[in-house]
Amino acid sequence: MKGTPNIEVGCGIARGDDSFGAGRDAASQATEGIISYFLTAVIVFAPASYDLDAMLSGIRSVVGDVPLFGASSAGEMCHRAFSGSVVVMALASPYLSVSVGLGKGVSTDCRGAVIEAIEGGTVKRYFNPKNSSYYNKMTRNGRSVFAILFSPGCTAASDSYSPEILEELKRLSQGCISFFGGSAVDPAGTTGQENFVFYGNRAYSDSMVLAVFETGLKFGIAMGHGFHPTGKRVVATKCRGREVLELDHRPAADVFSELHGIPREELEGNYLFEQIARPFGMRHALGEYTIFVPHTLTPNGGAKLAHPVQEGTALALMEAIEDEVAAAGKDTLQSALMQSGITEPAAILVCSCFLRMNLLKSRINEELAAITTAMPGVPLAGFYSAGEQGTNADHVSRHNNEAIVILLLGNELSYAAKVAEENRILYRMLEARLAEKQLLQEELAGQIRFLQILIDNIPNPVFYKDPQGLYLGCNKAFEEYFNLRREEILGSSVENLDQVDQIDLHRQLDRELIQKGGRAVYESTIHAEDGTLLHTIIHKALFHKADGTPGGIVASMTDITDRKQTEEVLRISEEKFLKAFQGIPTMMTIITFQDGKIVEVNESYLRNLGFTRREVVGKTSRKLDVYVYPEQRNLVINMMIAKGSVQNLDVPLRTKTGEIRHCLLSAERIQLQNVEHALILMQDITDQKHAEQERLQRMRLQSILQTAGTICHEFNQPLQILSGYTELLLADPALDPKIHQKLQIIKGQTERMEMITQKLLTVKECSFKDYAGIGKIMNLHEDETEETDPS
């Protein structure tokens, strides 16, 4: 056998005057090879000549707290026959469990002893004639059951009630248990004074021990004897318990004497089985015979048998063929093997009637040798008993005499156990799968709860529906938005929501999503219960099932009513702003702060600078070349960065035609649609500039005139003196003509200077004219031709 066996079995034998030591040594041998499993049960056989309690204590010292039971014997078996020895068989298997019960006072009340063994032990569940549920459970688990029964054999003072015990147990177990066992005996056989059964640490007389094994291993129980019927047959016509009063309506003692050809007087007062008397046999349906051993002739002319016979039973006188009796052990083993289908035998347990030792005498070991030869190396243990329980070919457990009974245990699991084991594996796999599924379901339920909590905490209404448009779920915001409970929403469609407008639009977009997939975003309106028109943006997307088919549509709604109202307010505000922007006479432009591109201008800007809107929008002032002094553009930018605004900066601008216009420039940084811009205002002050220049010029002229008047006033006196002296000189007749001519010129120029000073004193306005290309001079003689120096 390969690997770890399903059952480990060991046998041990010891003998000696030390009862404790003999028990200990036999147990040590039996358990020496058991290494893989804990012990399941220990079975003990020993003659009553030992101090049985001490012997059992010796065994217990080795095996520990494990079910221990057995019987006293007329001879012991451990691979071969022994006498006066302690034999121990140890069983260890996870596929074998045992429950043991003890019943006392068998000779007084055998049925009471049966009830005590059942009720007082752990075997009760197997003996409930009104309820077979436990057997049904065993069958489902692939387990079967057999029992080992040791009961008291006959003594000099008491009959054996083993047949009655077996029948009662069969009745209470509903025939579901196969029985193996034998009747305890002492070395003197059935004529002894006392025999014992073993239970735990003690030996009990007049008691029965019942061990029920529940197992998944293969096992077989068979019974044989090697007897054959002769042609001599009778009918038990009158019976009283074990006593047959009449055979064929005649005194049973007379008929028994005639059948054996022995005078009645020789048989009376003696144990019949110790003489050459042959047993009776009762035939069963399959041709097998139960042996009835004759005990004694009774004073009533009857014959007492080893166990009761029913009136009307046909009995055949049996004969023993020595070779067949010797071969009965091997034949019985073969029956057990065929019955069980065992291919790997693990243990052989044997009960053989002590009377067979008388039959076989020196050939007694041939019986066991045939068994061990057939199954070499398989542990064998047993005892010689005074009545045996076993199973015939018809699978019915019966009590027998002068028989050999074999219990064969296999190492392999039964077919039912294998199926059950496979079922258990499958069941564990199924349980694991179910546990995994349950875990997944719990995780899924947790995820669903989490997702529901998640979407319930989304402020926007969220819903999802199947491909047919029926709502599968939604969040609290959706419930509140439509003032409906979730139960009212689930299973309904958009048509059931009275407030929703544009039903056809929703349906059309849903169909397109189901067919094409993707996403859809669109606006829709809803009429609230108070009549308010609500605006929403709906985002929809297709979701798929695990198999890839469309699962439905998930969507979220965003209420944009406030935004729409804000947009309307902004639109009106923008209209007003644009009207004001375009109508204001001040030149205005809006530029992006980042790159200075013009995004908007008003009509005043276009009109004053001579551009069209297309020429301006999207361009920069540098591109348009409107700054006369480009450095002023940089100055404006730096001031905007540093202070955020510019106030009344005098900036000359160049029109499209090249004309220079003087402006007061103001600028402010503003935000438009979250983008930084600059609003620039330019007040055209060209006319004011010119007027101011003229005013300043007049002021300068007035100052000049005032200064000139003062100079003229100071200049008149020298001119008068010069004029007077000139007149005096000209009056001199002796004056040289050339000098006279020169004086005349001086006089003329002096008069001119007087006229200029006089004119300066009276001038209010004047004009200027270019003078020799180097500047402008005051024109005091606009209507006169300028005189030139004749020289």
Q: Give the CATH number of the domain where residue 476 resides.
A: 3.30.450.20
Q: Give the total number of structural domains in the chain.
A: 6
CA angle 395, 340, 215 (to 5 degrees): 95
Instruction: Out of 318, 344, 377, pick the residue that ends a domain.
Output: 318
Residue 765 confidence class, pLDDT cut points 50, 70, 90: low
Element (H, E) at 390: strand 388-391
C-beta of residue 89 within 8 angstroms of C-beta of residue 9 = yes
Distance in angstroms (rounded) separating the CA atoms of residues 229 and 281 = 7
pLDDT exceeds cutoff 60 at 104: yes
Quick count: other Cβ atoms within 10 Å of Cβ 119?
12
Are 278 and 197 found together in one domain? Answer: no
pLDDT exceeds cutoff 60 at 784: no
Give the least confident one: 293-297, 323-327, 334-338, 687-691.
687-691
Report yes or no on 486 lying in a domain.
yes
Report yes or no on 600 lying in a domain.
yes
**Percentage of the chain with pLDDT > 70?**
95
Nearest to 461 by CA among 542, 556, 528: 556
Q: Map tokens 């019966």 to a residue.
A: 398
Q: How far does CA 713 lie from the centroid of its chain?
A: 121
Instruction: Out of 653, 684, 715, pick the residue that ends a domain.
Output: 684
- In this prediction, residue 788 carries a pLDDT of 43
- Using DSSP, state whether 223 is helix, strand or coil: strand
Quick count: other Cβ atoms within 10 Å of Cβ 50?
25
Give the list of residues 6+ apart from residue 697 with CB closer than 8 angstroms, or none. none
Report yes or no on 788 lying in a domain.
no
Q: Mean of the pLDDT values across residues 52-71?
A: 97
Are 519 and 494 found together in one domain? Answer: yes
Position 753: which residue type?
A: M
pLDDT exceeds cutoff 80 at 3: no
Instruction: State the DSSP string of 529-580.
Output: TTS-EEEEEEEEEEEE-TTSSEEEEEEEEEE-HHHHHHHHHHHHHHHHHHHH
- Using DSSP, state whether 612 is helix, strand or coil: coil
Main-chain dihedrals φ then ψ at residue 749, nearest 5 degrees = -70, -35
Are 554 and 641 found together in one domain? Answer: no
- In this prediction, residue 770 carries a pLDDT of 65
- In this prediction, residue 778 carries a pLDDT of 63
Give the list of residues 6+ apart from residue 251 with CB closer than 8 angstroms, or none. 245, 301, 302
Report yes or no on 575 lying in a domain.
no
Main-chain dihedrals φ then ψ at residue 493, nearest 5 degrees = -125, 180
Distance in angstroms (rounded) separating the CA atoms of residues 587 and 602 = 7
Q: How far does CA 419 lie from the centroid of its chain?
A: 29
pLDDT exceeds cutoff 80 at 373: yes
How would you classify the pairing of strands 178-184 and 660-672? unpaired
C-beta of residue 194 within 8 angstroms of C-beta of residue 205 = yes
Report yes or no on 568 lying in a domain.
no
pLDDT exceeds cutoff 70 at 40: yes
Report yes or no on 202 lying in a domain.
yes
Are 82 and 210 found together in one domain? Answer: yes
How would you classify the pairing of strands 280-283 and 289-292? antiparallel
Main-chain dihedrals φ then ψ at residue 284, nearest 5 degrees = -105, 180
Q: Mean of the pLDDT values across residues 500-517?
A: 88
Alpha-carbon radius of gyration of the chain: 69
Are 131 and 160 found together in one domain? Answer: yes
**Residues 554-607 pLDDT 10s:** 999 998 888 888 877 877 777 777 777 877 888 999 999 889 999 999 998 999
**Percentage of the chain with pLDDT > 90?**
51
Query: For the whole model, what pTM was predicted?
Result: 0.61
Instruction: Out of 291, 318, 345, pick the residue that ends a domain.
Output: 318
How would you classify the pairing of strands 404-413 and 345-353? antiparallel
The 3-state DSSP composition of the chain as helix, strand, coil percent (nearest 5) reads 40, 30, 30
Are 486 and 496 found together in one domain? Answer: yes
**Residues 134-183 pLDDT 10s:** 888 888 888 999 999 999 998 878 889 999 999 999 999 999 999 999 99
- In this prediction, residue 68 carries a pLDDT of 97
- CB-neighbour burial class of residue 185 (10 A; exposed 0-12, middle 13-18, buried 19+): buried
- In this prediction, residue 127 carries a pLDDT of 93
Q: Which domain, by its residues, includes 664?
A: 585-684
pLDDT exceeds cutoff 60 at 532: yes
Distance in angstroms (rounded) separating the CA atoms of residues 461 and 455 = 9
- In this prediction, residue 267 carries a pLDDT of 85
Average pLDDT, the chain: 88
Are 37 and 173 found together in one domain? Answer: yes
- Using DSSP, state whether 219 is helix, strand or coil: strand
**231 vs 730 pLDDT, higher one:** 231
pLDDT exceeds cutoff 90 at 198: yes
3-state secondary structure string across 494-518: HHHCCCECCHHHHHHHHHHHHHHCC
Instruction: State the DSSP string of 724-776.
Output: HHHHHHHT-TT--HHHHHHHHHHHHHHHHHHHHHHHHHH----EEEE-TTS-E
Give the list of residues 6+ apart from residue 628 with CB closer than 8 angstroms, or none. 651, 652, 653, 654, 660
Are 200 and 89 found together in one domain? Answer: yes
- CB-neighbour burial class of residue 518 (10 A; exposed 0-12, middle 13-18, buried 19+): exposed
Element (H, E) at 163: helix 162-172
Residue 775 confidence class, pLDDT cut points 50, 70, 90: low
Report yes or no on 178 lying in a domain.
yes
Instruction: State the DSSP string of 591-656.
Output: EETTT--EEEE-HHHHHHHT--HHHHTT--HHHHT-BSSHHHHHHHHHHHHHHSEEEEEEEEEE-T
Q: Per DSSP, what are the bridge partners of residue 104?
A: 207
Are 45 and 137 found together in one domain? Answer: yes
Are 660 and 708 found together in one domain? Answer: no
Nearest to 185 by CA among 269, 89, 76: 76
Tokens standing for 113? 């002893």
Q: How far does CA 221 lie from the centroid of its chain?
A: 49
- In this prediction, residue 223 carries a pLDDT of 96
C-beta of residue 635 within 8 angstroms of C-beta of residue 621 = no
Main-chain dihedrals φ then ψ at residue 102, nearest 5 degrees = -125, 135
Q: Mean of the pLDDT values across residues 655-674?
A: 90
Report yes or no on 358 lying in a domain.
yes
Residue 71 confidence class, pLDDT cut points 50, 70, 90: very high
Are 434 and 406 found together in one domain? Answer: no
- In this prediction, residue 191 carries a pLDDT of 64
Nearest to 52 by CA among 209, 207, 210, 196: 196
Are 311 and 328 found together in one domain? Answer: no
